[in-house]
Amino acid sequence: MKKKASKLKPDVQKPLSSRKAYRNTLSKLQKQLVKLQRHFIGKNDKILIIMEGRDASGKDGTIKRIVQHLSPRETRVVALGKPSDRDNTSWYFQRYVSHLPAAQELVLFNRSWYNRAGVERVMDFCTEAEYEEFMSSVLDFEKMLINSGIKLFKYYLDISKSEQKRRLNNRKTDPLKQWKTSLIDEQAIKHWEKYTVARNEMLARTHNSIAPWTIVRANNKHQARLNIIKDLLDRLHYSGKDKKLVKPDPKIIYEFDVSTLENDQLAK
């Protein structure tokens, strides 16, 4: 029985003791990730992780902590830019296929083909026909990936409107984060409601038992990062697993269900 998710809480500055506890737990989990990588290299596994969410939801930071101590030869992060003219005339999934994991590889997509269900739809970068074609074919595409041996994980990082606004404003003033700013950021708050509608439809229509969505309450960056790593470690087999350490918090991370929308568990 699925537990109801807790309300979103703002990502406030943590006391030193809390930050120390976070760093200690993160270090332990990263050691578990190294054990996991050693295992899937030995088994020729192929792992694909998709990170989706609104702008400033914490995808970059989470991915950075996952890959920080992993072997770069078997680990790749994919963050594709604006489609080229050639991309726009090709099969929609084509530009993503070349980045899929081969044996022994872990690949993380910082945004993915679900751009079509989010940014492209909200900003009118695709037609309604192109959107419907994507929505009707994406699960078949993912089923092919899974049948080929790829272990697919889909995470959606959910943040509140006030938290997104705070983080986007912080990007503008922090010289170390200004590389993250884009013209699309300026539209994020303006089109908040449209993104909410697009998110809800995407989750409802592209979630199934074969390729489920996992929701992450991401207002607290530290808790979001730790629980995504825990969830990943908990769901994959490897030797030397610390089962108590990798048990995720169901108040932070949980599998999507239609009741998630009906009970207003996501940011509105």
Give residue 1's pLDDT band: very low, low, confident or very high (50, 70, 90).
Answer: very low
Average pLDDT estimate for 197-206? 98
* Mean per-residue pLDDT over the chain, rounded: 93
Residue 5 lies in a domain: no
Report pLDDT for 2.
Answer: 47
Letter for the amino acid at 83?
P
Q: Tell me the pLDDT tens digit for each residue of 113-130.
A: 999 999 999 999 999 999
Residues of the chain with pLDDT > 90, as a percent, come to: 86
- In 64-127, DSSP assigns E strands to 75-78, 105-110
Q: Tell me the pLDDT tens digit for each residue of 102-112.
A: 999 999 999 99
Q: Domain of residue 220: give its range.
A: 17-262
Least confident of 28-32, 39-43, 63-67, 165-169: 165-169
State the burial class of residue 251 (Cβ atoms within 10 Å of its Cβ: 0-12, 13-18, 19+).
Answer: middle
Report pLDDT for 123.
Answer: 95
Residue 12 lies in a domain: no
Overall domain count for the chain: 1
Report pLDDT for 3.
Answer: 46
Alpha helices in the chain (DSSP H): 16-42, 59-67, 85-88, 94-97, 119-122, 128-147, 161-173, 183-188, 192-206, 221-235, 258-262
- Identify the helix (H) or strand (E) that includes residue 158: strand 150-158
Residue 8 lies in a domain: no
Residue 7 lies in a domain: no
User: In the predicted model, is pLDDT for residue 54 greater than 50?
Assistant: yes
48 bridge partner residues: 107, 152
Average pLDDT estimate for 161-166? 96
Letter for the amino acid at 238?
Y
Helix, coil or strand: residue 247: coil
User: In the predicted model, is pLDDT for residue 180 greater than 80?
Assistant: no
CATH number of the domain residue 246 falls in: 3.40.50.300
Residue 170 lies in a domain: yes
User: In the predicted model, is pLDDT for residue 239 greater than 80?
Assistant: yes
Q: From CA 14, how far away is CA 98, in angstroms rounded?
A: 41
Q: From CA 199, how far away is CA 192, in angstroms rounded?
A: 10
State the burial class of residue 133 (Cβ atoms within 10 Å of its Cβ: 0-12, 13-18, 19+).
Answer: middle
Average pLDDT estimate for 46-63? 97
Q: Enumerate residues 6+ apart whose C-beta is below 8 A from 59.
A: 51, 52, 53, 110, 111, 157
Residue 119 lies in a domain: yes
Helix, coil or strand: residue 178: helix
Is the overall model pTM greater than 0.75, yes or no? Answer: yes
Residue 157 lies in a domain: yes
User: In the predicted model, is pLDDT for residue 175 greater than 70?
Assistant: yes
Residue 47 lies in a domain: yes
- Note whether 217 and 253 are within 8 A (CB): yes
Calculate helix-pair angle for 59-67, 16-42, nearest 10 degrees. 60
53 bridge partner residues: 157
Give residue 185's pLDDT band: very low, low, confident or very high (50, 70, 90).
Answer: confident
